[in-house]
């Protein structure tokens, strides 16, 4: 594994993927929808696809997924 893909990168990628999954599922389960009337296999499939795309985005651009880099002070600060 490259030095780019560190523990902080994995934490950032996991956080991003979890947020994506939650947002996608929330968008599918719209207000007024009856929970037991939803097409759950389709809803979970769309959520899984969005989550996979989030992880692939983190792999493609590891610097933006790494929480140590993303939360570090900018040059000249602090």
CA-to-CA dists, residue 3 to 8, 29, 64, 77, angstroms: 11, 39, 15, 25
Given a contact cutoff of 8 angstroms between Cβ atoms, the answer to whether 65 and 16 are in contact is yes
pTM above 0.95, yes or no: no
Given a contact cutoff of 8 angstroms between Cβ atoms, the answer to whether 16 and 58 are in contact is yes
pLDDT, tens digit (0-9, with 9 covering 90-100), for 12-49: 999 999 999 999 999 998 877 888 888 999 999 999 99
Given a contact cutoff of 8 angstroms between Cβ atoms, the answer to whether 42 and 60 are in contact is no
């Amino acid at each position: 594994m490259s030095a780019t893909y560190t523990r902080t990168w994995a934490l950032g990628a996991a956080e991003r993927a979890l947020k994506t999954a939650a947002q996608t599922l929330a968008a599918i389960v719209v207000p007024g929808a009856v929970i037991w009337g939803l097409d759950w296999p389709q809803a979970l499939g769309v959520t899984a696809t969005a989550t996979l795309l989030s992880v692939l985005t983190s792999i493609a651009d590891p610097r933006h997924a790494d929480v140590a880099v993303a939360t570090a002070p900018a040059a000249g600060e602090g």
